[in-house]
């Protein structure tokens, strides 16, 4: 019987809200989970991807990982992990380095044996490459088998990766899937019955939340697909407690999620306090402040999340304004704008580490609906977005140039860009200006390149055509001028 600790999406190094305190929160949560593994004396820790928040973690998160994994090693507990979409993508990644220095094992198609269970890994793969995947896992020599994956899997409503296809095409009969990427802790039961054809054309990921009972039919095997959830909140709207899972795999491999998957709350996760403020038309900042003071006495360094919403009994805004007594259209009644600054100041007064405000009310102005968008700190918003996009070091120079307009005049930016590109090409190869667009998914996030040495699928990765320096310079200048 194997006893595992399942965790994922630790996002070490994330300075959420640009605060060192939040970066430390992610480290503290990871340390608590590692301590739990030692206290519970599990057979292995299984990490389902996104160990780091960025593909280029700094010294601080690296030191956290080295320290905590050394603690696990001293306790003779292996650390098994896969590559998530936040890990390094273009060449080697930190997961490989951790394996090379003996602190971790990267799960792959060959399988890793833990007690009487074989555990396999399926790295994150961009959606556009999944139709070409072949799930060729090596045969297990144990009675039970687990697949660890990273992605948004069906039958969850937001899923874009067919669990049915994976199970149908795999030569290994899996008893459980432990997965990451979704930051909420939940599970679904998925049919693992073998179709007559393994051509992958059937996609029946249809188990609903109302069907979440233990597997009941011997003719149709149903296995749990379980998310552990993130160890800290990466977004303020993640209201559920942060968790990890203690998983027991019985000798027969028949896993009942209600019995064998034990969710544990991470106590060190920073508290988020949520205040929802329903507003009628005409109500504004005074109502918001009064509601917050009524619901909150002291925040003690918690994150305060305030959500403005229309009152439930608020009548909908008509498509056409009503007429007044003179037969002319009356002025439309709209929600009063609520400034963010006073709400943030009140949060600070009450002891919040930081205050976040979102507006969920519909507005009517100029005969159209829209949502108000306000930034308390525009520069911080730009920097936060900048952390989420992938750029080369050379491109980073152009970002600095464009943002620091007091240093570079708009009329001179093209000349300055040409000088920068020319200087880079004199000391670097053309690769310094190249980002492989195959590694960027539809939503702009950086995803990992499929590594055929560690992935069960076989994916052909075509090399980019050679581009000379003159063409690179021309393309770069065209982007800058746009």
- State the angle between helix axes of 393-403 and 413-427 in degrees (0 to 180), rounded to the nearest 10: 160
For residues 175 and 253, the answer to whether their CB atoms sit within 8 Å is yes
Concatenating the DSSP letter of every residue in 127-196 gives GGGGGG----PPPPSSSEEEEEEES-BTTSTT--B-HHHHHHH-SS--SEEEEESS-S-EEEEEE-PPPS
- Residue of 6, 11, 47, 86 marked catalytic: 86
Q: How far apart are CA 463 and CA 451, in angstroms?
A: 14
| CA 354 from centroid of its chain's CA atoms | 21
**Cβ of 343: how many Cβ atoms within 10 Å?**
23
**Cβ of 476: how many Cβ atoms within 10 Å?**
20
Q: How far apart are CA 360 and CA 200, in angstroms?
A: 41
In the chain, the N- to C-terminal Cα span, in Å, equals: 61
HSE toward the beta carbon, residue 29, CA cutoff 13 A:
31
Of 382, 386, 388, give the one whose Cα is nearest residue 54: 388
Concatenating the DSSP letter of every residue in 243-304 gives EEEEEEE-TT----HHHHEEEEE-TTSPPEEEEEEEE-TT--HHHHHHHHHHH-S--TTPEE
For residues 270 and 232, the answer to whether their CB atoms sit within 8 Å is yes
Q: Does the annotation count 11 as an active-site position?
A: no
For residues 228 and 6, the answer to whether their CB atoms sit within 8 Å is yes
Q: How far apart are CA 230 and CA 29, in angstroms?
A: 10
Dihedral sign for Cα 279, 281, 283, 285, please. Answer: positive
Of 451, 454, 447, give the one whose Cα is nearest residue 105: 454
For residues 141 and 118, the answer to whether their CB atoms sit within 8 Å is yes
Determine the 3-state secondary structure of 239 from DSSP. coil
Q: How far apart are CA 174 and CA 83, in angstroms?
A: 20
For residues 228 and 7, the answer to whether their CB atoms sit within 8 Å is yes
Number of residues in the chain: 482
Residues involved in catalysis: 86
């Amino acid at each position: 019987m194997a006893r595992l600790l399942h965790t994922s999406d630790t996002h070490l190094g994330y300075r959420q809200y640009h605060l060192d305190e939040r970066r430390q929160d992610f480290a503290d949560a990871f340390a608590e989970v590692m301590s739990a593994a030692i206290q519970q004396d599990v057979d292995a820790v299984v990490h389902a991807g996104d160990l780091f928040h960025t593909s280029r973690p700094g010294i601080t998160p690296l030191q956290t990982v080295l320290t905590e994994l050394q603690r696990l090693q001293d306790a003779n507990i292996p650390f098994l992990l896969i590559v998530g979409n936040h890990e390094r993508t273009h060449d080697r990644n930190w997961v490989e380095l951790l394996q090379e220095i003996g602190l971790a094992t990267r799960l792959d198609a060959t399988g890793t044996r833990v007690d009487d269970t074989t555990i396999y890994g399926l790295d994150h793969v961009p959606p556009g490459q999944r139709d070409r995947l072949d799930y060729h896992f090596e045969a297990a020599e144990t009675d039970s088998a687990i697949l660890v994956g990273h992605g948004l899997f069906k039958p969850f409503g937001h899923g874009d990766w067919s669990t049915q296809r994976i199970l149908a095409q795999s030569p290994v009969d899996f008893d459980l899937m432990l997965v990451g990427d979704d930051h909420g802790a939940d599970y679904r039961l998925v049919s693992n019955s073998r179709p007559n054809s393994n051509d992958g054309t059937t996609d029946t990921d249809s188990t609903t939340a109302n069907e979440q009972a233990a597997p009941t039919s011997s003719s149709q095997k149903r296995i749990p697909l379980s998310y552990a959830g993130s160890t800290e909140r990466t977004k303020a709207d993640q209201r559920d407690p942060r968790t990890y899972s203690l998983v027991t795999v019985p000798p027969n491999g028949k896993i009942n999620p209600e019995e064998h998957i034990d969710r544990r709350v991470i106590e060190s996760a920073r508290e988020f306090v949520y205040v929802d403020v329903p507003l009628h038309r005409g109500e504004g900042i005074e109502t918001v402040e009064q509601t917050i003071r009524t619901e909150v006495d002291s925040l003690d360094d918690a994150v305060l999340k305030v959500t403005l919403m229309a009152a439930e009994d608020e009548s909908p805004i008509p498509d056409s304004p009503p007429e007044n007594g003179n037969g002319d259209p009356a002025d439309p009644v709209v929600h009063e704008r609520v400034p963010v600054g006073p709400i943030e100041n009140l949060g600070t007064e009450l002891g919040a580490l930081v205050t976040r405000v979102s507006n969920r009310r519909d507005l009517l102005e100029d005969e159209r609906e829209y949502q108000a968008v306000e930034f308390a700190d525009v520069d911080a918003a730009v920097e936060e977005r900048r952390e989420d996009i992938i750029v080369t070091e050379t491109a980073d120079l152009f970002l600095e140039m464009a943002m620091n307009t007091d240093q570079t005049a708009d009329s001179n930016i093209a000349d300055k860009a040409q000088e920068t590109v020319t200087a880079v090409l004199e000391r670097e190869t053309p690769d310094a200006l190249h980002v492989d667009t195959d590694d960027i998914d539809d939503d702009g996030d950086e995803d990992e390149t499929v590594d055929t040495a560690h992935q069960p699928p076989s994916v052909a990765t075509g090399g980019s055509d050679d581009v000379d320096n003159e063409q690179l310079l021309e393309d770069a200048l065209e982007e800058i001028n746009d």
